[in-house]
Amino acid sequence: MATIEECRRALEKLSDNLAGAEGNVRAAAALDRSVSCRLKDLDVTFVGRLVDGRIEVQDTVQGPPPQKAQIRLVMTGDDLVALVGGELSFARAWGSGRVRLEASLPDLFRLRKLL
């Protein structure tokens, strides 16, 4: 099972990947939105913001997030590490229910370019 620190590093790597992206991917990530990433197996949530193509983790809280973020991810720590490491396809994980992504419809259309 992935640790909280491994998951934090995975989010940092994802942030670096988004910041280094070009073209449509970079444009899709250039949002200013609140973000939460809930890890069911660890019972923690990373809370932060997606700003200028970077994910800025501001806090780690026990249990569900205290407030509803504009972009919400729910998965296990192992799935987060596997997704960022390229070992798990987001589309396959999302389609099978292993990963949940919730956001407004316009944000979902924009974010699909990242996936």
pTM of the predicted protein model: 0.90
Mean pLDDT over each residue of the chain, to the nearest integer: 90
Sheet architecture: strand order including 44-51: 54-62, 44-51, 32-39, 71-75, 100-102
Instruction: Please write the tens of the pLDDT for every residue from 35-45.
Output: 999 999 999 99
